[in-house]
Chains A and B, each alone.
Chain A
Amino acid sequence: MKRWLLAAALVLLLFMLPHPGTELGELHPVSLLLVELEGREIRLETDTHMIGRGETLDAALRNLESTTPGYLFLDTAENLVLRSSTLFLLPELSQCLRPNVGVCVAEGPLQLDALPVFLKIHSPGLPLSGAVDEKSIPILYETEGGYLLENGKNL
């Protein structure tokens, strides 16, 4: 009897764990995140066309979370696209994204629609964990009808 009570108490304790689960149907997974400056605000855009703005990265992320239907799920992000003006956010971004997210810097106008597929095939090869101290970050250009990823250009 004591054993059963102990088992029941343990199961109850498991229900009280601080980390609650999230239902799969409520997730809004992101595979690409674009970070750029819009005036004095930081602008975040996902491959699913969700946009968040804020004066700080935290504020922009909170705004992005509030505008996203469901639960914004950044753990599935595979690529991070920055502008040269937002490179200073790398240390902060490395706190909220996985360390092996591929990083590149975009120049010029950019359409995100086909970018995840392009980056899946042509990986930037530089993980976020290594990009913080890296001076040479791959550059992404949009060309006519496609993209071009140029590796190793010094910024």
Chain B
Amino acid sequence: MSQFLTDQDIRALFGNAGDFVTRELTCQGFTLYAYAIDGLTSGADTSEYVFKPFADHLTGETMQLLYNNALRGGIYNSVAQECRDLQEVAQKLVNGFCVVLFPGSGALAFEVKTGEKRSLSAPEVENTVKGPKDAFTETVRTNTSLIRRHLRTPSLRLDETKVGRKSLTNVTVAWLDGVTAPDLVERMKDRLHSIDIDNFLTPGAVEESVTGSRATAFPLLQYTERADTFCLGLLDGRVGLLVDGLPLGYLAPVDLGCLMDSPEDLSRDYLTASCIRVLRFGALLTSLLLPGFYIALTVFHQQMIPLPLLRAMIESKRNVPLSSGWEVLSLLIAFELLQESGIHLPQAVGQSVSTVGGIVVGTAAVEAGFISPAALIIVSLSGICGFALPNRDLAEGIRIWRFGLAILGATAGLFGVTAGLIALSIHLGGLKSLDVPYLSPFQTNKDNGILRKRMQHRLFRNPAGSPCSRRRQR
């Protein structure tokens, strides 16, 4: 195949792209052609580790000899790979290689990647006080090196593949040999191979493609920006996924218990961590149910409210023009809008908008009699409890269902909220991530329940993922 590669074909690959650079080289009287993509390769390294050895050291009486010598160490470069066809040439070029064409003999790719990439930084979302501070970056190779530093076992497996017809994104499947169930790994690889999509660049594309785009607001892949959390997931017998260009690692299978785990849980003593986990589950329920319950109680079941509180609420509600249902729903929408505006504005401005929106506008609205203080407190409390959830995707799923339960509470009171909760339980019970039930921690509850067990009692891995070896420690 390689002898059919020609200068015209390679030039035609990228058309007249401005960053596609070519150069003719003369070596031992033969004309060679060098190609690289400016910005992906380092000009200095190309000169030093490709062109200079070509000029100084490479010898050969025929083109084939030149090619063979260059491949077998004649060129001072750690990586020299043969390109067998045009597609391979293109792949090497877009991955930071300099390709040198030996007309009639073949093409060799030399690695001269530019060093321009984001350096390691502390996690922005999953912060901890005591834990490690290294977060994933956009470069998959940096991320694999981070994992290797945390997990030095040779049984760590990293299988690389490309996904995306146009994006040709490098995707790495990571797992621990002897721990992760082989069929989980195979299932993940099969899913990646079956993906036929233009781009694999965005988290949405990755998550929907890998999970099969289920009609649910709940995450079926767990993402983390922390290398230590990713490694703990691998040690628990799960499969990891790293996508070039995304500063995240994905873990599957996922269940509700995994999504409620915080990196802080393992940096505190078990007692404190257990109390905080209970609080976190309480926050989950509060965030989900509070607006619905409030509307149901204030519209349908006022007799359940203690009299002094009821009197105070009636007094505060007397001059409010909106009904309790509309009041809470409009506040929930306002809360979402505040969050959304905070995300899209620059950080400093976003904080100001949130503060002004939350405090000034909220207080003014209460004073003006547009809303009652109780409704404002309920919606704020519900929102704050949502922020206590460690996984943003889960929190967003809860936000959607919170609206649904609030509407059901406004239409049918506690009957509606209960019906909604039953529907939610059925929905969650029917969800599976890589064929592992979403509610599995509540199905077995031996080692992975609400409380954080003492390290010496954390003997077994989560059985849901059917790990090869269930025992964590002796």
Contact = CB atoms under 8 A, between A and B. Distances in A.
Interface string B285-300: 0000000000000111
A75 B302 contact: yes
Contacts of A75: 302-303
B408 interface: yes
Given A11-B407, A14-B411, A15-B411, A21 B300 contact: yes
Interface stretch (B101-109, B196-204, B240-248, B315-323): B315-323
Given A24-B314, A27-B314, A19 B303 contact: no
B412 interface: yes
Contacts of B317: 23-25
A71 to B, nearest CB: 10
Interface string A58-92: 00000000000000010110100000000000000
B318 A76 contact: no
A76 B302 CA distance: 8
B307 interface: yes
Contact of A29 (B311, B407, B412): B311
Given A11-B407, A23-B324, A29-B314, A76 B303 contact: yes
Nearest to B304: A75
Contact of B302 (A11, A73, A78): A73
B377 to A, nearest CB: 14
B320 A21 contact: no
Nearest to A71: B302
Contacts of B407: 11
Contacts of A25: 314, 317-320
A1 to B, nearest CB: 11
Given A27-B314, A76-B307, A76-B310, A22 B299 contact: yes
Interface residues of A, number: 18
Nearest to B313: A24
A123 interface: no
Contacts of A29: 302, 307, 310-311, 314
A21 B299 contact: yes
Contacts of A73: 302-303
B411 A11 contact: yes
Q: At the interface, is chain A mostly helix, strand, loop or mixed?
A: mixed
Contacts of A21: 299-300, 410, 413
Among B298, B314, B323, B413, max chain A CB count under 10 A is at B314
B303 A98 contact: yes
A17 interface: yes
A129 to B, nearest CB: 16
B362 interface: no
B49 to A, nearest CB: 60
Nearest to A17: B412
Nearest to A30: B307
Contacts of B323: 23
A94 interface: no
B414 to A, nearest CB: 11
Interface string A11-44: 1001101010111110101010000000000000
Interface in B412-438: 412-413, 415-416, 419
Contacts of B302: 22, 24, 27, 29, 73, 75-76
Interface string B112-136: 0000000000000000000000000
Contacts of B298: 24
B309 to A, nearest CB: 10
B160 to A, nearest CB: 39
B302 to A, nearest CB: 6
Contacts of A14: 408, 411-412, 416, 419
Nearest to B303: A75
A29 B324 CA distance: 17
Contacts of A27: 302, 310, 314
A23 B324 CA distance: 7
A19 B324 contact: no
B217 to A, nearest CB: 14
A4 to B, nearest CB: 9
Contacts of A15: 411
A21 B302 CA distance: 10
A78 B303 CA distance: 11
A73 B310 CA distance: 11
Contacts of A23: 299, 317, 323-324
29 contacts: A14-B416, A15-B411, A17-B412, A19-B300, A19-B413, A21-B300, A21-B413, A22-B299, A22-B300, A23-B299, A23-B323, A23-B324, A24-B298, A24-B299, A24-B302, A24-B314, A24-B317, A25-B318, A25-B320, A27-B314, A29-B302, A29-B307, A29-B311, A29-B314, A73-B302, A73-B303, A76-B302, A76-B310, A98-B303
Given A17-B415, A27-B310, A73-B302, 6 more contacts: A14-B412, A19-B413, A24-B299, A25-B314, A25-B317, A27-B302
Interface of B: 298-300, 302-303, 307, 310-311, 313-314, 317-320, 323-324, 407-408, 410-413, 415-416, 419
5 nearest A-B pairs in the assembled complex, by CB-CB distance = A21-B299, A75-B303, A25-B317, A14-B411, A14-B412
